[in-house]
Structure 1
C-alpha cells in the first residue's frame, strides 16, 4: 500500500525533476511530456435500444497486438454449486468505511469495472472516496479503487449528483446525509439526502444505474462533474444529444506526482461516458474551472476544458422519479453507449436482481457454518476480496490498455483483460492465492493480462491501473510470484515462453530513472543494477527501503527459479536460486536483525530494529518485521537466528512487544512461522487471537487499508485455517479453522471437482488448539498441505481442544 511517506518521496523526485528540466506552465493543465491534449469528442451516436453489442471492429482503430494463446485450451465446464444459500444478507459493505479501511460501499459486480459509489466531502489529497465519519456527500462516482493507501492519487471519476430546489449560485451541491437513511448490499446502494432526494444505485460490469426520487413540487436537477477526481483533472468534453442523452469524457491524471517524477506521459486516463435519462432534459448549463475562477454558462449544451461540469434541469412533477443509465468506457463514447445498452434494456430492478444473484453465486463458493456475527465478518471479507483485479473487457470483446505510454485498443478474443491490481505488493500474498483456490477459471486471464502489458510496454507491471504507463510506487517484482504460483498450481492458460521472457527481463534488467542513485525503489520497473552487482541494495541506493528491497528481490528470485525449474531453464534456475540467498547479506549476527549496508559493505549505523521512521531502510515497517521476511527459506532464517528455540523466543517477543501489525502486509505471514520451528500451537493461538482482536462487524472492522482486498483475503484464508507463506510454492500452512464447517466448491476442470469440506469438532470459545486432523478418515500429521491435495477435495476434520497437543510435532 503506498504510504504517505512513499508519496512524499515521489514528490521529492518530482521536484528534483522540475528543477533539472522545468515543465509546462501548470496553468496549462497538460500532462508533462505531451505537446497537447487531444480533446476531440466522438461523433453523435444512434442511441436507440437495439444497438448491436458485437459490432465489427475497425482494424485501423485497433492496435495490432494479437493475444498470445494456448494451443490446447479447452473451455472449462460451468460451475454448479449445489444447495445454494442466500448469503448476500451476511455482507455489510460498510465494514471498513470507518478508519483507514478505505473501502467503498457502492454497487458493483464481482471484479466489475464500474463501481458506482458515494463520494463524501473529504479533504484535498485524500485517496479514499468514502469516509464513514464525513457528514456530506459530493455525489456518486463510477470508477473507484478498493481500500487503497497513500494520498493525492486514485480514481473517483465521473461524478453525478442530483439536487432538489433552486441551484445555489456557486453550484456547491454537497448535501448532508445520515447513516440512518443509508443502505448498502452487494450490487445495490441507497441513501436519502437532506433535501429529501432518494438515490438508489446498481451496476453492470460496464454501466452504473441511478434511480432518483425527488420530493414533490420541487425543481429537479442533476449535476455531472467531470473534474472531480482523487487525481487531477486534465480536461474533458461534454455535450447534450437530443433531449435525453448526455455524453463526453473526463481526462485525468491518476497520479500527478508520479508523472512529474518520471518525466513522461504516465497515469493519464480518459474516461468516456454515455448517459441516457428516462425523461426529457428541460434546460442545461455548463461550468469550467474551480472556485473564484469558475465560469458558468447557462443554457450551454456543450463544454470543454479542465474541471468541467454540466447541470441539467428536469420536470419530474408527475412521479418524482428520474432514471439514468451511465455507460462507462475507456475506448470511446460510442463504446460507452454499447456498454450501457444491456442495462437500458433490462432496467433498474432487473439489473439489481441480477447483480445480487451474481454476488450470491460468488459468495456460495465457500459456505460456512458458525456464529452469525463471524459469518458477517467472513462474507464481507470474501466480498471485498473479489473486487480486484477488475475485468475491463468492454462490450464487443474489446479493451484499452496503455503500458506503452499511449492508450491503445485491443481485441480480447476469448480473453478478459484484468487491471486495477493496485498494488501487487499487497495482493500477491493473499488475494491471488485465495483466488487461485476459489476462482481458478480467472487465473489464466489474470496472468495473460500481465503478459499483455509486458508485450505492450516492455515490462511486467507492479501495480496495474487503467491509466497510461506503469504505476511504480511499490517495491519488488511481485508479478513474478503471482505467475509462478499459478503455474505451480497447474493453472497454465497462458504462454509460458512469453512469461519466462518477461520474468527473466524483470530479474536481470532495470529501467533508467531519476531516482536510480538515491531513491532507486520508487520509479524502477525491474531489478536495480546494484542488487545484481553487490547481492544487496545499499542504503545509498534508497535509504528509505533498501533492506526491504533486497529481501523482496531475493524472494522474487526464488519464485522466478521455481518457474524456471518447471519450464526447463535449469541454468537460469541455479543462478536465481543462488541469488535468493541474498537475504543473508543483510543479516548482522552481532545485532541479530536484518540491517542496512553501505556500498562499501559496512553496516549502516546507528541501528535500532524498532525504528519505523521514513528513512529507516525498511518499507512501511521496521527491522523487527522485515527480519522475518524470508518466506522462501524459513529453515535458513531459523538457522541464522539460532535454531528452533531461539526462533520461537524471537517470535514471542515480536508479538508480545507489539511489533505485529495486522494491517500491514510485511507482517501477514509471521503468525504461521511458528509451524516451521516446532511450535504449531503458538500459530494456532496467535491466528485465532488476531482474527478476534483486529476484525469486527462494525464500520471500523478492518485493522487498516484493505489494499485491493489483500487484508480481507488474509481474514478469509486464516478463517479457513490455511495460509500460503510463500506464493510460488503450492503449499498452505495449517492453523485452527474458525468455523464449525466450511465447504469450498472446487471448480471442475481445474480440480477433481469434489467439494473441499473443512470441519471442526469441539469448536468452542477457548478451544483454539488442534488435537488431531484427518482427511476422509485418515490421520494427517503434517503442518502443511499441498494445493494438489486441497484441490482434490474431501473432508478434513480438525478436532480442537483448550490445551496445546502433540499434533504436528
Structure 2
C-alpha cells in the first residue's frame, strides 16, 4: 500500500506546520455538485478522510471503510487510559507521544493540556494503576541555543514541550502531533518496530517557547527511562559514524512483582551527523560514546540517561527514526528493525498496518443506514480497542524457550474474562486460541495460571482464578484446535485444589476453609499461603463461579466425579447469603446521600426495604455486617480498591449480590421472585449504586433476561449508550481494560455473553443488520431488524425468527456464530411477551444435593481442620 491508501499525508505536507495534524473535521452534508466542487478545493477538508480526497459521504457510491469510523482517541481522558498511538492488532510496538500527566498517563498519551515528555515505543492500553512500559523515549529538539548541544535539555523533568492545541490526529496504524517547538511528529509501526517521521519548519532560525533565534540543527536523544521511572540498570551506546543508538534497561511492572529487561536499536535517515554523545540527567557530553550499569542515584533524580545525535539540516526538512524493540537482546532488536522496515518506507508500513486492521475488523459488517456517525464511531472504536491487548510477544519470551505462542499484558483477566475474551472467541478465534495456549504454557512453566500478568511478571490477583473461566469458555464454545486440554485441565484443578505460598499473585487463598466450610471466613486463619485476607465475599462468589466452570470442563473431558464435586462447590456462593440483611446504611449514617447531587449534604435518600444480601461471615457461622452500599458511587466509593480492608473488591455487596450466573433461578428466588428481582435490579441501575466504569456491572445490565424481562435489558443498554459509552475523548466511564470496548461492541450488535457458558443474551442491535463471519467457511451469522427505527424509539423485541422459524428464547448459543444463520427481530416501542416465559429464559444450574453451611463453633472448626 502506498500513498494512494493514505492521501492524508499529501494534505498534511501541503499545509503549514501550524495546521498539520489537525483533528478529523466534522463531515458536511452537501446537496449539489457545485457545493462539492467548492469544498473539494479546500485542502483542510481532506483531514477528515485518510483514504479519499473527498470523505466517503460525498461520493456517489461510497466504499464503506470501517477505519473512517475508528477514533483511537476515545478514552484518552478521565481515566480511560486508552493507548491511541500506532500499532497492529495485538502488536508489540506501540509508539505514541507520552504526556506529563501524573495519575493518567498509564498508556502514555492523555487528551489534556499537559506537555509532551517524548515518544516511546512500548505501551499497554486501558490499564489502571501505575504507568506501564514507556521505555526508551525519543525527544527531538529543532536546535540548541547558540548551536551548543549542552544548551538543550536532556533530563525528562526539564525537557517537556507543549503541544499545539487541537493538532493531534490518530487513526489505526498512525499517530501525528504538532509541538510548540515547531517539530511535527508522525509515527507508524510494524509488529516489533516503531517508525517516526519528524518534520521541521525549514527556517534557518527557529523561535520556540524555549527561546528565539535558535539555529536549525535537530538533536535527537534516546533516554533509558520508562514512564514509571523504575529503571535500575542498563546501558547505552552511540555509533558516531552511523548514528545508531542501542541500549537496554531493567524495569518494574506496573501492577505486579519482579523485574523485566528490554532492549532497543535506533537508526536515523535523512540528515548528516554533526556530533553525538551520551548524557546523564542534563549533563550531556560528546565522550564517552558508551556507558553501562548506570544506576539512577541522588544526583540524577530524573532517572534520565542515554545517548544523543545532532544533525545537519535534514533533506526535505524531514528526519526518519526507526526503533526496533526486543525483550531478548539488542541484536534481536536490530534484526527486528532491519527485517520489518528495511526499506524505511513510511507509507508502506502505515498502509500494511491499516490493511491488518481492516482485515481484523472485517470479521463484522453493519448496515449503517439511518445510524449517526457518532454511533458508528462508538461501535467501531470499541471493537478496535478490544484488539489492542493482550500483546503478541511470541518469539520475544525472555523467560523460557517454547514452541507455543506467548501473549503478555493480560491486564487483568479479572476484567477481560467478562467480555473481551468472549468477543475475540467470535471475531478472532485464531488469536483467542493462541491466547489460551499461551495461558496453558505459562502454567506449564510457572506452575499457575495468571489472573493478571504484564511485562513477563506476575500481576496481583484481584478476585478468583479467572483464567479458569476463559479456558472453560473456550471449551464450551468448541475453541479446541491445538489446545492441550489435559494440561489445561490440570491447570484449572491446580487453582481449585492447591494453594500457592503467595496467592496474592497467582491462584487462590483460604482453600482449606473453602473446601471444609464452603466459604471464606472473615476471620480465616490461613497458614498455607499469604495474600490479602480481605475481599472474602467477592473472592468467595468468584471462586464458586470458577468451580462451576471447572465442572463444565470436567464433564466435557469425561470426569464425572470431578464434575459433581465442582458443581457442588459452584453453589457455595449461597453460603454468603444473609436473608435477613436489609439495605441499611453504615452505622454512622442514617440514610445514604443522593447520588444525583453529591455536593449536597442535606438531600438524603430513603431506605428501600430490599432484604437479603451477600455478607461476610465468621468461622462460627455468624454473619458480620458490611454496609451494603459501601464501595459504590453513593458511599465510600474508593475504599475497596487494591489495598482494601473490606470484603468486596471494587464494588459493593449490592453489586456482588447479583453475581450468580451459574444459578440465577435460585438468586431470583432468594431475592423474592421475578417481580422483586426486576425492581431491585432496576433500582441498582437508577439509584447511582451501579458503576459502569468497572466490568462487574456489565452482566447486571442484561440480567433482566433471567426474570423474563429482556426489554428491560434493552432499555438500560440504551441508557448507557451513548450517555456513558460514546465517541468523545471521555467516551468510556472507566479504565478501558480492552473490555469497555468489548462491552460496547456486544451491546450494539444485539447480544452479550455469559462468560464461561454457552449463552448469549439477546437485545435489538443498534443497526438494521449486523453480519459476523461464522467459523464455517463462507458462512455469516446475521442479526437483522425487519422494522428498524431510525429514531431509536423501537427498542423492544416483539417477535423473532431464527432461520425462518419462530424463535421465542431470549438467548442463543454459540452454534449460531460457529455455523452461521439469520436471526431476525420485529421491534416495538413497548415491551411485549417475547422471551418472557419460563422456558424462554437462559438456563440455571441449581444443585439439589448441596447443603448450605450452617457454620461451626471454633472448637468444631479446629477439630475439622485437624482431622
Same fold (TM over 0.5): yes
Kept after mapping to 2: 8 A contact 1:752/1:793:
no
Kept after mapping to 2: 8 A contact 1:724/1:732:
yes
CA distance in 2 between partners of 1:472 and 1:338 (Å) = 34
Q: Cα 1:795–1:258, aligned 2, differ >3 Å: closer, same or farther?
A: closer
CA distance in 2 between partners of 1:429 and 1:549 (Å) = 16
Task: Map residues 480-499 of structure 1 onto 2, 5 A cutoff.
Answer: 480-493=468-481, 494-499=483-488
**CA displacement at 1:258 relative to structure 2:** 4.6
CA distance in 1 between partners of 2:655 and 2:377 (Å) = 30
Task: Map residues 251-262 of structure 1 onto 2, 5 A cutoff.
Answer: 251-255=250-254, 258-259=256-257
Q: Cα 1:611–1:142, aligned 2, differ >3 Å: closer, same or farther?
A: closer
SS in 2 for 1:233: coil
Please list every run of 5 or more consecutive structure 2 residues that lacks an aligned counterpart in the other structure. Answer: 1-61, 205-215, 296-302, 525-531, 582-611, 633-638, 837-867
CA distance in 1 between partners of 2:312 and 2:835 (Å) = 71
CA distance in 2 between partners of 1:89 and 1:509 (Å) = 50
Highest CA radius of gyration, 1 or 2?
2
Is it true that 1:508 corresponds to 2:537 in the alignment? no
CA distance in 2 between partners of 1:420 and 1:326 (Å) = 21
Kept after mapping to 2: 8 A contact 1:284/1:300:
no
**CA displacement at 1:458 relative to structure 2:** 0.8
> Residue 736 of structure 1 corresponds to which residue in structure 2?
764
> Residue 528 of structure 1 corresponds to which residue in structure 2?
510
> Residue 613 of structure 2 corresponds to which residue in structure 1?
593
> Residue 701 of structure 2 corresponds to which residue in structure 1?
671
Aligned equivalent of 1:226, options 224, 227, 232: 224
CA distance in 2 between partners of 1:720 and 1:124 (Å) = 34
CA distance in 1 between partners of 2:702 and 2:316 (Å) = 59
> Residue 16 of structure 1 corresponds to which residue in structure 2?
none
Is it true that 1:90 corresponds to 2:78 in the alignment? no
SS in 2 for 1:250: strand
> 1:608-631 CA deviation, whole Å, 9 max, x = no partner?
444543333111010111100111
**CA displacement at 1:433 relative to structure 2:** 0.3
> Residue 804 of structure 1 corresponds to which residue in structure 2?
831
Task: Map residues 728-807 of structure 1 onto 2, 5 A cutoff.
Answer: 728-746=756-774, 750-751=775-776, 753-760=778-785, 761-763=787-789, 764-807=791-834
**CA displacement at 1:106 relative to structure 2:** 0.6
If asked which structure has higher relative contact order (CA below 8 Å, sep 6+), I would say 1
> Residue 690 of structure 2 corresponds to which residue in structure 1?
660
Task: Map residues 398-413 of structure 1 onto 2, 5 A cutoff.
Answer: 398-401=395-398, 407-408=399-400, 410-412=401-403
Task: Give me the TM-score of the superposition, normalised by structure 2.
Answer: 0.77
Aligned equivalent of 1:208, options 194, 202, 212: 194
Aligned equivalent of 1:647, options 677, 692, 706: 677
> Residue 440 of structure 1 corresponds to which residue in structure 2?
429
Aligned equivalent of 1:724, options 753, 769, 784: 753
CA distance in 2 between partners of 1:119 and 1:206 (Å) = 19
**CA displacement at 1:113 relative to structure 2:** 0.9
Q: Cα 1:215–1:84, aligned 2, differ >3 Å: closer, same or farther?
A: closer
CA distance in 2 between partners of 1:570 and 1:500 (Å) = 14
**CA displacement at 1:781 relative to structure 2:** 0.5
Kept after mapping to 1: 8 A contact 2:749/2:765:
yes
SS in 1 for 2:262: strand
Kept after mapping to 1: 8 A contact 2:79/2:104:
no
Task: Map residues 283-302 of structure 1 onto 2, 5 A cutoff.
Answer: 283-288=275-280, 295-302=283-290
> 1:189-244 CA deviation, whole Å, 9 max, x = no partner?
01111111111100001100011112323120111111132261111111123423
Task: Map residues 326-341 of structure 1 onto 2, 5 A cutoff.
Answer: 326-341=323-338
Kept after mapping to 1: 8 A contact 2:616/2:626:
no
> 1:698-747 CA deviation, whole Å, 9 max, x = no partner?
1111111101x10110000011111112x22121011121111111122x
Q: Cα 1:243–1:399, aligned 2, differ >3 Å: closer, same or farther?
A: closer
> Residue 45 of structure 1 corresponds to which residue in structure 2?
none
Aligned equivalent of 1:474, options 450, 453, 462: 462
> Residue 34 of structure 1 corresponds to which residue in structure 2?
none
SS in 2 for 1:127: helix
Which deviates further from its counterpart, 425-434 or 332-341? 332-341
Is it true that 1:275 corresponds to 2:266 in the alignment? yes
Kept after mapping to 1: 8 A contact 2:781/2:816:
no
Is it true that 1:538 corresponds to 2:524 in the alignment? no
CA distance in 2 between partners of 1:790 and 1:447 (Å) = 19
Kept after mapping to 1: 8 A contact 2:277/2:309:
yes
Kept after mapping to 2: 8 A contact 1:681/1:769:
yes
**CA displacement at 1:762 relative to structure 2:** 2.9
Aligned equivalent of 1:364, options 356, 362, 365: 362
Q: Cα 1:740–1:125, aligned 2, differ >3 Å: closer, same or farther?
A: closer
Q: Cα 1:194–1:122, aligned 2, differ >3 Å: closer, same or farther?
A: same
Is it true that 1:386 corresponds to 2:414 in the alignment? no
Kept after mapping to 1: 8 A contact 2:413/2:452:
yes
SS in 1 for 2:495: helix
CA distance in 1 between partners of 2:194 and 2:435 (Å) = 24
CA distance in 2 between partners of 1:611 and 1:461 (Å) = 26
SS in 2 for 1:589: strand
Q: Cα 1:318–1:445, aligned 2, differ >3 Å: closer, same or farther?
A: closer
SS in 2 for 1:210: strand
Which deviates further from its counterpart, 680-689 or 555-564? 680-689
Kept after mapping to 2: 8 A contact 1:105/1:118:
no
Aligned equivalent of 1:186, options 165, 172, 176: 172
Q: Cα 1:554–1:349, aligned 2, differ >3 Å: closer, same or farther?
A: same
> 1:152-208 CA deviation, whole Å, 9 max, x = no partner?
x52122211111121545523211103422111000001111111111100001100
The alignment covers a number of residue pairs equal to: 689
Is it true that 1:456 corresponds to 2:456 in the alignment? no
> Residue 415 of structure 2 corresponds to which residue in structure 1?
426
> Residue 157 of structure 1 corresponds to which residue in structure 2?
135
Q: Cα 1:374–1:419, aligned 2, differ >3 Å: closer, same or farther?
A: same
Kept after mapping to 2: 8 A contact 1:84/1:364:
no
> Residue 213 of structure 2 corresponds to which residue in structure 1?
none
